[in-house]
């Protein structure tokens, strides 16, 4: 007997964003995937020291955005909060003498 395959809704999902606060008004989706592709996106993020936030609901909203497109207005507040945390952590790390 084999285990049933997980439904697509239960497979892990990962979305990578890029934001250049000097040039872009809103972050854009640069990678998105489910299952093995999501695991690969996460592995690359961890390997390159990219900060990762787990938020299934937000990931589902962002996964619906096409690659290269800016995030939707509905997700902007949540993403802005995450970016604030990341920028602040990077500034603290730089002030302490580490590379962000």
Residue 57, pLDDT score: 87
Tens of pLDDT, residue by residue over 44-91, are 999 998 888 888 888 998 999 999 999 988 888 888 888 788 778 878
Cross-strand bridge partners of residue 33:
14
Q: 48: which 2 tokens?
A: 């390159």
Q: Could you tell me the residue range of the domain that residue 70 belongs to? A: 8-95
Q: Is residue 43 part of a domain?
A: yes
Task: Report the CATH number that the domain containing residue 91 is assigned in CATH.
Answer: 3.40.1690.10
Q: Is residue 3 part of a domain?
A: no
Tens of pLDDT, residue by residue over 18-54, are 888 788 788 899 999 999 999 999 999 999 988 888 8
Residue 67 half-sphere exposure, CB side, CA atoms within 13 Å?
6
Q: Is residue 1 part of a domain?
A: no
Residue 88, pLDDT score: 84
Close Cβ partners of 63 (under 8 Å, ≥ 6 residues apart): 13, 15, 32, 34
Q: What burial class does residue 14 get, using C-beta atoms within 10 Å of its C-beta: 0-12 exposed, 13-18 middle, 19+ buried?
A: buried
Q: Is residue 89 part of a domain?
A: yes
What's the pTM value of the predicted model, to 2 decimals?
0.72
Q: Is residue 19 part of a domain?
A: yes
Query: How far is residue 75's CA from residue 53's CA, in Å, rounded to a whole number?
Result: 14
**Number of structural domains in the chain:** 1
């Amino acid at each position: 007997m084999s285990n049933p395959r997980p439904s697509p809704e239960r497979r892990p999902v990962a979305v990578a964003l890029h934001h250049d606060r000097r040039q872009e008004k809103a972050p854009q989706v640069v990678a998105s995937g489910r299952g093995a592709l999501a695991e690969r996106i996460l592995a690359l993020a961890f390997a390159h020291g990219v900060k990762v936030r787990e938020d299934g609901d937000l990931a589902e909203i962002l996964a619906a955005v096409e690659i290269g497109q800016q995030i939707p207005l509905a997700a902007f507040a949540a993403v802005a909060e995450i970016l604030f945390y990341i920028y602040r952590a990077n500034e603290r790390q730089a002030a302490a003498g580490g590379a962000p």
